[in-house]
């Protein structure tokens, strides 16, 4: 029994030693293969330099559109970028691909790689947490796969005329920085070559995207270029809740001044003035978030008409107040003139009567004084009635203007909103149904 146990123990030890030797042999073979593979390898030159151009197949997975910065006219995309090409100098006899861990280095430090650049990128980042995010595979037939994670911020020429219901066309383009189409040819791996999962965005929705391949020329040579276009539709929810609803509420609040009495000048002017200042502040905040452009945006049209509506409210009060003041001055002047004229007429009649009948006037002086006093009382009563009539007419005119403004000013704003939302803000829906590519 003891001999059997010893035999089994020795057998297991021998098997383990054989496995370790085989693993060590495989590792040594890989080490030797790696050394021989790069023994005479020159990473400065592309494979088959005098032959056909190297065909580089490209595809990408967009992880997110993290930001569309309207003020700087750029957008930021985080993606996995993958490139494939064949380098006959890297052929080997292993039964599977070689996956190299580049660590803190880059694949270009080890082998020849395409010098791919994003033409319209303003900023860029190669991720390096926890190590440089690169995957490098070398297949037995010399096919090379290079995958890396990059964040780029390409320029995007935003057209803000339809803001806040605008559809933006943003692009990015890739090409070789130094090698012309004589040496390198880029192609999309498949159509469309860009893979985008359904992902939520804060202010935009991806409605369509496409890819193209071009051959472009400059002063020195021709270059192959890969082009990708994204259609981003702005979501209007933010603008509705933070711009349109507050602005509409402010305009409606300014209408309250038309129901206040004419004597409440401070309340009327203060209410309309505060409304104008508030809308101006909203407008300033919007402009600070957008680039300075030399055309009118749809949001500008709404804010301008809102300000005009408030100005109409203030003008209505100014007109009514001036009519009241002018009518009051006219009434006082009319009363004063009529009183003076009647007084002079009565005085002249009395003097003539005294000259013509001086003797009789002495006898009936007391009677004439009574008559004069009665005439004065009658004239004062007539003047009072005239003043009341002028005042009533003035109040009627002011009330008529107020009632007209109370209907006309809100009605114009309502009609404007109907036209604005039904016709003016109707977005172009062409292409929005083509979202099957987005997955």
Structure confidence by residue, pLDDT tens digits, 116-130: 999 999 998 888 888
pTM: 0.74
Structure confidence by residue, pLDDT tens digits, 272-314: 999 999 999 999 999 998 988 899 999 999 999 999 999 999 9
SS3 label, residue 215: strand
Q: What confidence score (pLDDT) does residue 194 get?
A: 92
pLDDT tens track of the chain, all 439 residues? 565 556 555 555 555 554 444 544 456 677 777 788 888 889 999 999 999 999 999 999 999 888 888 888 999 999 999 999 999 999 988 888 888 888 778 888 889 999 999 999 999 888 888 888 999 999 999 999 999 999 999 999 999 999 999 999 999 999 999 999 999 999 999 888 899 888 788 889 999 999 999 998 877 789 999 999 999 999 988 999 999 999 999 999 999 988 888 778 888 889 999 999 999 999 999 999 898 889 999 999 999 999 999 999 999 988 888 877 665 565 555 555 544 554 445 445 545 455 455 555 555 555 555 555 555 655 555 555 555 566 666 667 778 888 888 999 999 999 999 999 998 877 554 444 343 344 3
SS3 label, residue 276: helix
Contact 140, 117 (CB under 8 A): no
Contact 397, 262 (CB under 8 A): no
b or e along 341-355 (b: 16 or more beta carbons within 10 Å of the residue's beta carbon)? ebeeeeeeebeeeee
Q: What confidence score (pLDDT) does residue 66 get?
A: 81
| DSSP assigned state of 244 | I
At residue 333, φ and ψ (nearest 5 deg) are -65, -40
Assign 3-class secondary structure to 20-75: HHHHHHHHHHHHHHHHHHCCCCCCCCCCCCCCCCEEEEEEEEEEEEEEEECCCCEE
Query: How far, in Å, CA of 299 to CA of 70, rounded?
Result: 15
| DSSP assigned state of 182 | T
């Amino acid at each position: 029994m003891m001999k059997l146990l010893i035999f089994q123990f020795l057998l297991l030890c021998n098997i383990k030693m054989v496995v370790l030797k085989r693993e060590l042999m495989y590792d040594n073979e890989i080490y030797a293969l790696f050394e021989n593979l790069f023994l005479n390898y020159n990473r400065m030159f592309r494979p088959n330099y005098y032959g056909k151009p190297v065909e580089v197949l490209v595809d990408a997975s967009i992880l997110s559109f993290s930001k569309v910065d309207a003020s700087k006219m750029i957008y930021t995309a985080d993606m996995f970028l993958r490139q494939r090409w064949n380098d006959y100098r890297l052929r080997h006899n292993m039964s599977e691909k070689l996956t190299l861990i580049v660590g803190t280095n880059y694949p270009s430090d080890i082998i020849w790689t395409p010098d791919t650049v994003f033409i319209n990128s303003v900023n860029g980042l190669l991720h390096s947490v926890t190590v440089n995010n690169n995957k490098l595979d070398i297949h037995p037939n010399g096919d090379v796969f290079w995958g890396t994670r990059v964040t780029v911020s390409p320029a995007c020429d935003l057209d803000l005329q339809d803001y806040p219901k605008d559809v933006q066309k943003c692009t990015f383009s890739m090409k070789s920085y130094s090698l012309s189409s004589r040496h390198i040819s880029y192609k999309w791996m498949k159509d469309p070559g860009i893979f985008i999962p359904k992902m939520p965005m804060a202010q935009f929705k991806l409605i369509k995207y496409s890819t193209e391949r071009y051959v472009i020329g400059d002063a020195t040579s021709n270059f192959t270029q890969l082009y990708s276009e994204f259609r981003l539709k702005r979501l209007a929810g933010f603008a509705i809740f933070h711009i349109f609803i507050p602005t509409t509420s402010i305009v409606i609040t300014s209408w309250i001044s038309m129901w206040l009495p004419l004597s409440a000048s401070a309340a009327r002017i203060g209410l309309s003035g505060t409304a104008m200042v508030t809308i101006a502040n909203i407008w300033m905040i919007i402009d600070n978030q957008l680039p300075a452009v030399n055309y009118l945006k749809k949001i500008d049209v709404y804010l301008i008409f809102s300000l005009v509506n408030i100005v109409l409210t203030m003008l209505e009060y100014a007109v009514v107040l001036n009519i009241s003041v002018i009518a009051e001055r006219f009434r006082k002047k009319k009363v004063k003139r009529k009183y003076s004229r009647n007084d002079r007429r009565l005085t002249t009649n009395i003097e003539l009567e005294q000259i013509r009948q001086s003797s009789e006037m002495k006898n009936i002086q007391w009677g004439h004084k009574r008559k004069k006093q009665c005439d004065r009382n009658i004239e004062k009563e007539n003047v009072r009635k005239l003043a009341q009539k002028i005042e009533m007419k003035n109040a009627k005119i002011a009330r008529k203007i107020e009632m007209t403004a109370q209907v006309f000013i809100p009605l114009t704003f309502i009609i404007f909103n109907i036209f604005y939302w039904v016709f003016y803000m109707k977005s172009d829906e062409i292409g929005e149904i083509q979202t099957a590519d987005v997955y």
